Amino acid sequence: MKKRYTSIGLAVLAMSLSGTNALAEEFMVGEQEPLTGALARVGTGMHEGIAVAVEVFNKTNGKHTIKVLTQDDESSPAKAIAAVEKLASQGVVAFTGGYGSNNIGPASDAANKLGLTYITSGGVDNGLVQRGYKTFFRINNTAGYQKAMVGVLDDMKVKSASVIYSTKEATAHLAEDVQKDLAAKGFKVGMHPFDPGISDFKPIVNKVRLRDKSEVILMVGYENDYVGILRAAKVLKPDVKAMIGVWSLATPKMASDFPDLMPKVYGTALLPYPTQFKTEEGKAFYDAYKKLYKKDPDYLGQFGYVQSMLLFEAIARAADKGTIKNGGIAEEMARTDRNTLIGRVQFTKGDNLNFVHHMGQHQGDKIEIVWPADAATAPMQYPGVPW
């Protein structure tokens, strides 16, 4: 068992190494996350990545350490606010986590009122970065998902698509942006909104089958939505060449939970499965993830890790400058410019404009990256659907 230094021992060690009077400190960070409720699967994936970031940071920083306090928001906006307020009362200096723009919006509002930095990868609604908050940051955005969906359709050389999308803000905005992009390219696009509470997707899929007669179906929603749409499509068997979704679809968990629905289905994914890393940081992330969870990481864990490492590093820099208590963490986040496991991250008004997603496809017991071509680990199995 490795020797554990006391906080006093760490401080003395840091002073002797740096030659300064700066003390090593442990900082508490709040994690507000959907660990139960409709978004539990994705929240759990992000939570795992955050835990790995704590493990790697505390081993490699050499001075400061991080302790994460986690509060389940139960996939509820009201409970997301309550989670932020409770964690703030416990002395956290910043927040990482959150999933679903409708939860992240009010949670980050609460954090901003408290003057605390909030970073996420779970909210892509453009309104989140249009509020002008200096405390809010995200590492991904709608544009990155839009490029992936439109890009894979370009490679398929199709000319018609049906978009089945949730009327929630983030999903509706992405669907509308994709529709505009496709229409500008001369695609025929059928738009089919659905209420988030819907459970029977057969009437919508039947419209696509009988009226649209599109070459592909695009699904813009969340896990339960994908499952409902794919189940309806498997019954009605529309004459399409591909079923394409976005976040929370191309994951090992979806493959293991719904093996009959996932074959040949596409979804955004930065990592193939099984996972491969070539950089030193990637290998450290992978090794720590395997140690903690006895499985390969997926992109949700990768996102949680990246956003948290950027935050932890900003906290350490602010601590060294003595600016933690007067906005230093947000200032250091705004100065971020670093290559990460998802590519280069820089923030412009809280948004990472460098972000471009990849598209993965469930192929047998693997998830292969099939777009863009320079990142592909296997060719597309196209045409191909689960039925």
Q: How far from each other are the two terminal CA atoms of the chain, in whole angstroms?
A: 52
Rounded to an integer, what distance in angstroms lies between the CA atom of residue 318 and that of residue 324? 5
Residues of the chain where predicted confidence (pLDDT) is lower than 70: 1-22
pLDDT number for residue 124: 87
> What pLDDT is attached to residue 248?
86
Beta strands in the chain (DSSP E): 26-33, 65-72, 94-97, 117-120, 136-138, 160-166, 188-194, 216-220, 242-244, 266-268, 337-340, 343-346, 359-363, 366-371
Bridge-based pairing state of the strands 359-363 and 266-268: antiparallel
Between CA 223 and CA 228 the distance in angstroms is 9
Q: What is the pLDDT of residue 277?
A: 86
pLDDT at res. 275? 85
Question: Rounded to an integer, what distance in angstroms lies between the CA atom of residue 324 and that of residue 99?
Answer: 26
**pLDDT confidence of residue 22:** 54
DSSP string, 222-266: -HHHHHHHHHHHHHH--S-SEEE--TTTSSHHHHHH-TTT-TT-E
User: Residue 27, SS3?
Assistant: strand
- What CATH number was assigned to the domain covering residues 7-141+277-346? 3.40.50.2300
Number of Cβ atoms within 10 Å of the Cβ of 322: 10
Per domain, the residue ranges of the chain are: 7-141+277-346, 143-274+359-375
Beta bridge partners of 160: 188
Peptide bond into 34 cis (omega under 30): no
Q: Looking at the structure, give the CATH architecture of the domain made up of residues 143-274+359-375.
A: 3-Layer(aba) Sandwich (3.40)
